[in-house]
Structure 1
Amino acid sequence: MTTLTATFSGRTVSRIGYGAMQLDRLHDRRDEAVALLRRAIELGVDHVDTAEFYGFGFVNAVIREALRPEDDVLVVTKVGADPNPGGRLPLRPAQRPEQLRASVEDNLRSLGADRLAVVNLRRLDSGPGLRPEGDQIVGLDDQLAEMTALRDEGKIGAIGLSSVTLDGLRRALPAGVVCVQNAYSLVSRDDEDMLELCAAEGIAWVPFFPLGGAFPGLPKVADEPTVRAVAESLGATPAQVALAWLLHHAPNLLLIPGTADAVHLKANMAVGEITFDAATLAALDAVESRSNEIPIG
């Protein structure tokens, strides 16, 4: 069994957190959304990933209602995009420094907080998703200067990066980075060098799309015969095997699986109990990695 705690922004947390984006699927059932998040806390979740643009503020409102001071939950939010109601995509880039500051203020208001513990700067440099155009092509140094100013002002506690390149991370290290959030899974391990750098620097690696397949054309972990065979032998689901492999792969890796279903939530939290013998782990390690670089914007 792997170690189930790790250091994140100077504190010890469970390695299995909760990605709150899926709470928006309960947009018309707010009480259920609040109850699901309360259940996650009961099951041991002590860090939650969110953003103002999730559900156009709905998700942050649920977090504000559900969490209590005594829960001592680390809430991690992100900036770099804004809600885009009615658009082809539900969000649009917001990369300029003044937009980053405005997004921090939006998150503070919707979460009812005086300070955001960790804020991820969502760059648009890597992974599937939007790419910047026009005035949204902004230098990382200018963005980090604004994020550092916000930290100095006490509006944010720590800075993370998302959808960043290895070169970008290296340039950002002097500013102090506590986590990196990139697309990464068993079948899409483009960022292995960056994961190793994070481990060496004591930076938490928090993958999104941990099951792959977030967009058409991207590989899915559950489609791999090896994963399916391991899942069957262990009495687990392919998704559980995919998440458990991540926990085994690197000690600084934290999970933030999201769901709007209580049964699925419990299954996600149970992956820490899954163990692999050496042969099984070697077979999973040997699964082919394919690129996740499919822009959609």
Structure 2
Amino acid sequence: MTSTTFRIGGDPGVRRLGFGAMRLPTDPGPARDASRALARRAVELGVTLIDTAHMYGWGANEELLAEALHPYADGLIITTKVGVARSTSSAGWKLDARPDVLRGQVEHALRRLRVERIELLQLHRIDPEVPLADQLGALRELQSEGKVGRIGLSEVTVTELAQAREIVDVASVQNRYSLLDREHEPVLAACEAAGIAFLPWRPVASAASHTSAEIAAVAAEVDATSAQVSLAWLLHHSPVILPIPGTARIDHLEENLAATHLHLDPTRLDRLDRLAE
């Protein structure tokens, strides 16, 4: 039977199907009210892991979640990411994991989230312009000060993960991954071997953006949507996978979370597994 919970870094335990808050509108008005309502509904439905980042609105997403959910329910973890800064480039952002920048972003996150400690803090990207030991050393210092509970990484290779684990205890990895996008399967395997939580971002987008007759067929057979089949497959595929699907609509949120109860038998799982071929 597929476990519905996972202990990140050994503790604390969270429900494996979380929520990614990136898509929530933060501008004042009805859209912001709807975002607050959706965040509260996620917690009502049992979500205990919510993902945000400094980059999402440059702190506005963190403020929104605190506005909606503080004081936080027991067991709720809001994980945030640091290491990306604003830029005058066409993209509007750049990697910046200099120690002073990381510390500043963590201090801002603590204030915006209204917490004294971020239980899970993830490095949004490894900055190639800064020695890895300096980046992770800064996060380790914040951890020793009690401002960070556990340290995670995002968009890393197997080699980068191994190098990082020589410097800090890595509790999580957040890479792009889905039923139809398995580029980071080796990273997932490394996480599974080490008991590291693997948080796939964009866990259903690939399935939604490609016409897959096989996914649609399985969904029809089990009276579910293709997105639900994609999420259920992730939960079956590895015990360390904690999907964080995002949405700005409550009906989509409820649909996604219902995937926890979707059973896929071995034959259907095998059919889905073979889509990677």
User: What TM-score do you get using the length of structure 2 for normalisation?
Assistant: 0.91
Distance 1:264 1:13 in 2: 21
Secondary structure of 1:41's aligned partner? helix
Secondary structure of 1:118's aligned partner? strand
Residue in 2 that maps onto 1:179: 172
Q: Which moved more, 1:88-97 or 1:199-208?
A: 88-97
Structure 1 unmatched runs, 5+: 125-131, 214-218, 290-297
> Residue 97 of structure 1 aligns to which amino acid in structure 2?
P
8 A contact 2:26–2:61 mirrored in 1: no
Q: Greater relative contact order: 1 or 2 (C-alpha under 8 angstroms, separation 6 or more)? A: 1
Residue 137 of structure 1, CA deviation? 1.8
Distance 1:238 1:190 in 2: 20
Residues 74-131 of structure 1 show CA distances to partners (whole Å, capped at 9, x for unaligned) of 11000111245x863353222222211111112112112221111101225xxxxxxx
8 A contact 2:14–2:75 mirrored in 1: no
> Is 2:203 the counterpart of 1:210?
yes
Q: Which moved more, 1:107-116 or 1:42-51?
A: 107-116
Residue in 1 that maps onto 2:212: 224
8 A contact 1:26–1:260 mirrored in 2: no
Q: Using a 3 Å threshold, how does the CA distance of structure 1 residues 221 and 5 change in structure 2: closer, same or farther? A: farther
Aligned residues: 273
Residues 231-260 of structure 1 show CA distances to partners (whole Å, capped at 9, x for unaligned) of 122221111111111001001110111111
Distance 1:152 1:210 in 2: 33
Residue in 1 that maps onto 2:7: 7
Q: Using a 3 Å threshold, how does the CA distance of structure 1 residues 230 and 184 change in structure 2: closer, same or farther? A: same
> Residue 101 of structure 1 aligns to which amino acid in structure 2?
R
Distance 2:211 2:100 in 1: 43
Distance 1:225 1:116 in 2: 42
> Is 2:73 the counterpart of 1:73?
no
8 A contact 1:23–1:259 mirrored in 2: yes
Distance 1:168 1:83 in 2: 25
Secondary structure of 1:24's aligned partner? coil
Residue in 1 that maps onto 2:50: 48
8 A contact 2:25–2:32 mirrored in 1: no
Residue in 1 that maps onto 2:131: 139
Distance 2:171 2:38 in 1: 28
> Is 2:178 the counterpart of 1:190?
no
Residue in 1 that maps onto 2:98: 96
Residue 30 of structure 1, CA deviation? 2.0
Distance 2:192 2:132 in 1: 22
Distance 2:132 2:19 in 1: 28
Residue 44 of structure 1, CA deviation? 0.4
1:169 counterpart (146, 156, 161): 161
Distance 1:71 1:22 in 2: 25
8 A contact 2:19–2:47 mirrored in 1: yes
> Is 2:28 the counterpart of 1:35?
no
8 A contact 2:208–2:226 mirrored in 1: no
Q: Using a 3 Å threshold, how does the CA distance of structure 1 residues 162 and 231 change in structure 2: closer, same or farther? A: same
Secondary structure of 2:146's aligned partner? coil
1:157 counterpart (126, 149, 152): 149
Structure 2 unmatched runs, 5+: none
Distance 1:271 1:222 in 2: 20
Residue 190 of structure 1, CA deviation? 1.8
Secondary structure of 2:130's aligned partner? coil
| 1:15-30 pair list within 5 angstroms | 15-24=16-25, 28=29, 29-30=31-32
Identical pairs, percent? 41
Distance 1:27 1:58 in 2: 11
Residue in 2 that maps onto 1:109: 111
> Is 2:252 the counterpart of 1:259?
no
User: What TM-score do you get using the length of structure 1 for normalisation?
Assistant: 0.86
